[in-house]
Structure 1
Amino acid sequence: MMEQLNEEEIFLLLGKASGSLLPGEEALLEELFRNSPAATTAYQQLLENLKEAGSGKEGTIPLPHWRELTTEITNNAHPTTTTVKKLFSWKWAAAAASILVIAAGVFLYSHYSNRKSSIAQGAAPAIELQLADGSVINLSRQQGTIETGSIALNNRNKTLAYAAKGNAAAGTNRLTVPVGLDYKITLSDGTEIWLNSATSLQFPAVFTGNTREITVDGEAYLNVAPNAQSPFLVHLPGSTVRVMGTAFNINSYDSGITKIALVNGAVQVQSGTALKVLSPGKQATCSGGQEITETAFDERTVLGWRKGLFYFNNAPLSEISKVLPRWFNITVVIDDRSLLNRRFTGVINRNHPIHLFLEDLKVISGIHGSVDANGRLHFQ
């Protein structure tokens, strides 16, 4: 049945199987199921193939052909409809669906559901809030209502809201989210900020004056409360974003490079003397004070971290090795430097044990990872 579907329809089926569809894509899939009996049948076949792949049965695909299929998919990060149809025209087409899911980085739950993680991960440090008066609050340990001298905090379900008291408006507070964790804060004006791992936010308890200004280092998604009389300024390493009310993602993990991806509304990006006004669906990249470049971006890839997903598109091991420490609080050592340019297409799920991703990495790219007695991850 797969050969009767186009590339986008196959993509929706695979996304449903992996649990990674966005809400709009879920709606498209429901409409597809209503209007296409072939899609419904193909999805049921896909689930059966996944169960077979997870049961440990051998012979689903002869090994040489399995390798050829994996290589072709990995080398075609965005396969054309012709390529997809060619792959599914094999006499092993049913099993090819399973391998396509694996090559896309989907975790085969039926294969792993009864397995325990064999990797001891380091204990993640705490989320901390340092108030303007110098006091530090451990938000990972202290939950519920927290009374301080200047701010009344409400810390529940990885979300912080607060109310300023007295002279709390003076000075700057600093919220730090360590590796392996994420967190959300609602500022005094109603602006919502989701902070990714290894990210810090500096903000005042109460905004005063003609502007609302914060500083972010790392990655964050902002839904800025509209206020035409008080523009919102986000200071980043080497650039500044000016908004009135909008939703956008900022990423400054890479030294000297900042990326601003606009979901809706409008923002003005300033880097040195360069200025750029973005429209929704566009991403600005600022590098070392040079000219700002503008490109379209894939919302699934850029915003996947909010669902605990990180998508790799033909990414080298050198790039993967930067993400793993942030997401799993683990030290990465690459023993075989020849692997640095070995590439992988797939996805990490931060909510799953890291050994599941390592098995996908080994199967798809031939990269073997192991953890030593000190909890360091070695690639060899």
Structure 2
Amino acid sequence: MEEISTFDVNETVPDSSLPNDTEQDLLLEFFLRRDNPCPNIDEEWQKFSQLIDNGKSSSRRYTPVWWLCGAVAACLAVMFVMSYHSNITHPSGKEVLAAIDNDSNVTMKRGDDEPLVVEENVLAFGKGSSLHGNNNSKVVIKTPRGHECELTLSDGTTVWLNGESSLEFPQSFTGKERRVRMTGEAYFDVAKDARHPFIVDNDFFSTRVLGTSFLMRAYSRNDASVTLVEGSVNMQSDDSREYRLQPGMMAQLGANGFDITSVDTYPVIQRRAGYLYFDNEPLLNIMVELGRWYNKTVVFENEAAMQIRLHFVAERVQTIEEVVEALNEMDGFVVELSDAEITVR
């Protein structure tokens, strides 16, 4: 029978019996990668096993037991590091919006030219303006988070772009229709022209109007909607079903076409006027909007607070510190602010 090695607990253990720097680094990488999405477990295990096999030596009599002790110590160290950075990993919270690498300027791209930084937040493409053109080459205006832009198109239509949004349109409208494409959120005040309908496309649906005012959202399919303030809107979803809205109606895209409800349009007008305006809105919606405007990751550790409904108003020019202070005057939750995150507890 093979003799089993024994050891005295008081015996001095050579340093070579503990994991070396490479092995400790690999252990640290192994446990940190465990919480990342879609790790390649097979590849990491193969690397781990190969390293252990290469490190075996007949002169290391106590390796099996003391290597295990060292591994446990390394694991405890990793757990300490992960605990120290719990505000980043949020194992017990729910992240509802992530901060992004954000540009600091509004940009304009004309035709095949490179995008240019736009210093002003009010741009005009009508006749007599410096940006007016006589061709239908495409112009794309993009706003980063925390910035807005107001445009006047060649037909006199005005468009307000919220942060993290874009609008693609021709320098000059020609043909039988006026067609633009948007992402994010935009408020349209469409110039009337009965002979040339105004069409707004996004990734999820299209609207067709003659002259009207409405807010369109299309950050994602989940929040894709139109709220009509004046006039009328004909809508077509991606399944080709058509809908018609009257003032005071909102169409929210759902799994089976649009869900149409009556709404108060005053919050929409206030958003257009420079306010973060919420009336009887779930705290979840409010925090997502704030996170997008200020480009902060939003985490709910108190998930029950997501459905608390609030009336809350702030100006877009206010600092995030001022907004968080105002939120914390309300009951049922606590909002904490760090450099990159907003946490609701």
TM-score by length of 1: 0.57
Amino acid at match of 2:343: H
Amino acid at match of 1:304: Q
How far, CA to CA, are the matches of 2:191 and 2:344 in structure 1? Answer: 45
> What is residue 145 of structure 1 aligned with on the other side?
none
Deviation at 1:175, TM superposition (A): 0.7
> What is residue 252 of structure 2 aligned with on the other side?
285
Give the 3 Å change call, closer, same or farther, for CA 314–212 of structure 1 in structure 2: closer
How far, CA to CA, are the matches of 2:230 and 2:332 in structure 1? Answer: 40
How far, CA to CA, are the matches of 2:303 and 2:232 in structure 1? Answer: 43
How far, CA to CA, are the matches of 1:178 and 1:277 in structure 2? Answer: 32
> What is residue 321 of structure 2 aligned with on the other side?
355
> What is residue 367 of structure 1 aligned with on the other side?
333
Amino acid at match of 2:108: L
How far, CA to CA, are the matches of 2:340 and 2:323 in structure 1? Answer: 16
Give the 3 Å change call, closer, same or farther, for CA 379–124 of structure 1 in structure 2: farther
> What is residue 122 of structure 2 aligned with on the other side?
159
RMSD: 2.4
Amino acid at match of 1:364: M
Which residue, out of 108, 127, 131, partners 1:129? 108
Which residue, out of 271, 276, 281, partners 2:243? 276
Q: Does 1:208 align with 2:174?
A: yes
Preserved CA contact (<8 Å) 1:237 1:256: no
- 1:158-307 paired onto structure 2 within 5 Å: 158-162=121-125, 163-165=131-133, 168-170=135-137, 172-271=138-237, 272-288=239-255, 290-307=256-273
Range with greater deviation from structure 2 (277-286 or 233-242): 277-286
How far, CA to CA, are the matches of 1:307 and 1:191 in structure 2? Answer: 17
How far, CA to CA, are the matches of 2:233 and 2:102 in structure 1? Answer: 38
Give the 3 Å change call, closer, same or farther, for CA 285–376 of structure 1 in structure 2: closer
Unaligned runs of 5+ in 1: 1-121, 141-154
> What is residue 341 of structure 2 aligned with on the other side?
376
**CA offset digits 1:65-89 (Å, max 9, x no partner):** xxxxxxxxxxxxxxxxxxxxxxxxx
How far, CA to CA, are the matches of 1:369 and 1:257 in structure 2? Answer: 24
Unaligned runs of 5+ in 2: 1-100, 126-130
**CA offset digits 1:321-373 (Å, max 9, x no partner):** 2111222222323344454344433223222222233223222124222333x
How far, CA to CA, are the matches of 2:309 and 2:211 in structure 1? Answer: 39
How far, CA to CA, are the matches of 2:282 and 2:263 in structure 1? Answer: 20
Preserved CA contact (<8 Å) 2:133 2:171: no
Amino acid at match of 2:110: L
How far, CA to CA, are the matches of 1:252 and 1:323 in structure 2? Answer: 13
* Structure showing greater Rg: 2
Preserved CA contact (<8 Å) 2:147 2:162: yes
> What is residue 328 of structure 1 aligned with on the other side?
294
Preserved CA contact (<8 Å) 1:236 1:258: no
> What is residue 26 of structure 1 aligned with on the other side?
none
Preserved CA contact (<8 Å) 1:316 1:343: yes
Deviation at 1:256, TM superposition (A): 3.9
- 1:106-121 paired onto structure 2 within 5 Å: none
**CA offset digits 1:134-185 (Å, max 9, x no partner):** 3211113xxxxxxxxxxxxxx5xx210134446x423x22111111121111
Give the 3 Å change call, closer, same or farther, for CA 328–273 of structure 1 in structure 2: same
Range with greater deviation from structure 2 (357-366 or 339-348): 339-348
How far, CA to CA, are the matches of 1:164 and 1:123 in structure 2? Answer: 29
SS at match of 1:358: helix
Preserved CA contact (<8 Å) 1:285 1:292: yes
How far, CA to CA, are the matches of 1:343 and 1:286 in structure 2? Answer: 22
How far, CA to CA, are the matches of 1:350 and 1:165 in structure 2? Answer: 32
TM-score by length of 2: 0.63
> What is residue 54 of structure 1 aligned with on the other side?
none
How far, CA to CA, are the matches of 1:165 and 1:273 in structure 2? Answer: 34
How far, CA to CA, are the matches of 2:273 and 2:240 in structure 1? Answer: 36
How far, CA to CA, are the matches of 1:336 and 1:215 in structure 2? Answer: 38
Amino acid at match of 2:198: F
Identical positions, percent: 31
> What is residue 22 of structure 2 aligned with on the other side?
none
Amino acid at match of 2:202: L
